[in-house]
Amino acid sequence: MNHTKRHILYPGKAARAAAAAILLCTGMPLLQAMADEYWDRKSSLFEILPIRGEDIVMLGNSITDGGEFSELFGIHNIKNRGISSDVITGVEKRLGQVTAGHPAKIFLLIGINDVSHGHSVATLAERYARLVKKIREQSPDTRLYIQSVMPIDNDYRRYKGLFGKEKTIRDFNVRIKEIAAGNGAEYIDLWPTLAGADGKLKKEYTNDGLHLNGAGYRAWTRAIEKYIRE
């Protein structure tokens, strides 16, 4: 509880992202409303910020939202289009903000919040496939990189919606890999980098079992750097 208060007292981007994800997974109505408001604010901002043909777009939820990718990679044309608490259908709703600019590359990381909502793997895969199909239709020349849903660590007991969902995440990633292959996208498995021998998100990379700290972002960006620069 004190950890949550610290986020509230210091509401930077990463703090807002973590707080919004807490709201989503705990199902608290007022906090969910705050998460929705945050989504609306960020989406309205992205509406007026253009994506161009040379851009590399990081697209996803709070894990993406919290990353300073242009600094991590030292590349000015990387655009962060992550929104905390977002789900597959949320990304689909705002997809045109990205695809209208026909960026050079899109790195997609989405689905953990959908898992927390209790959807079946079949439903998750159906929604994910529809999103990927729309990316392909709306920006066919964009190189699409589909990243696996990251491992989690429920030892922290922070996100009730994710308790016992480890197998769902693994099974969903199998389907995501199939969707990538069926749509000519590059699948990036982040588990060898982020998961320990126990299959959980490494403790040195997180302070809540879901979101990444600085070391986690460094590990993630190193894992995808060759795709960023190729």
Q: What percent of the chain has pLDDT over 70?
A: 88
**pLDDT > 60? residue 17:** no
pLDDT at 10: 34
User: Residue 4: pLDDT above 50?
Assistant: no
Question: Can you read off the two tokens belonging to residue 221?
Answer: 């960006």
**Cβ atoms within 10 Å of 201's Cβ, excluding its own:** 25
Overall number of domains in the chain:
1
| Whole-number average pLDDT of the chain | 90
User: Average pLDDT in the 19-32 region?
Assistant: 59
Q: How many CB atoms lie within 10 A of CB 227?
A: 15
Q: Distance between CA atoms of 53 and 195, rounded to whole angstroms?
A: 34
**Helices (DSSP H) in the chain: which residue ranges?**
2-9, 13-26, 29-48, 62-65, 69-73, 88-93, 96-99, 112-116, 121-138, 166-182, 191-194, 214-229
Please give the residue range of the domain that contains residue 23: 2-229
pLDDT digits (tens, 9 = 90+) for 45-86: 999 999 999 999 999 999 999 999 999 999 999 999 999 999
Indicate whether 2 pLDDT > 70. Answer: no
- Rounded to 5 degrees, φ, ψ at 56 are -110, 125
Given a cut of 60, is residue 11 above it in pLDDT?
A: no
Tokens of 129: 């496939």
Q: Give this prediction's pTM.
A: 0.87
Cβ atoms within 10 Å of 117's Cβ, excluding its own: 13
CATH number of the domain to which 147 belongs: 3.40.50.1110
Range of weakest confidence among 4-18, 146-160, 167-181: 4-18
Mean pLDDT along residues 24-39: 74
